[in-house]
Amino acid sequence: METAELLLPNEPEFICQLKQAIESQGFSPRTEHSYLHWIYRFISFNQNRSPKELGEKDVRRFLRYVATTLSASPARCKQALKALRFMYQDVLKKPLPGLDDMQPA
């Protein structure tokens, strides 16, 4: 069983949509891996709640955690932000306008 299925066992459709959206963009394998990594970390950080239930404040809280607790570099913070932006805009069709002007830590 993959990480996604373990985190969201009741959301197989979302997981399928996420993977298809990433593949359809023609991202490099590294980018695909990075996006899936950050999205899975985001879900795990939010106690395995569905991203459909989460919003901008949850994303901001997670990105603060990445920057401060994980001491991630600015480049890693930017990767996390881009992955979550992609998930909300392209997969869930639920853009979070407050993230558009957000700069990674």
User: What is the domain partition of the chain in residue ranges?
Assistant: 11-93
Per-residue pLDDT reduced to its tens digit, 10-61: 667 888 888 899 899 999 999 999 999 999 999 999 998 989 999 999 999 9
Q: Taking the model in full, what pTM does it have?
A: 0.85
Per-residue pLDDT reduced to its tens digit, 76-104: 999 999 999 999 999 999 988 887 766 65
Please tell me the CATH code under which domain 11-93 is placed.
1.10.150.130
Between CA 70 and CA 50 the distance in angstroms is: 22
Task: Note whether 104 and 80 are within 8 A (CB).
Answer: yes
Return the pLDDT at 1.
45
Q: Tally helices (H) and strands (E) across the chain.
A: 5, 0
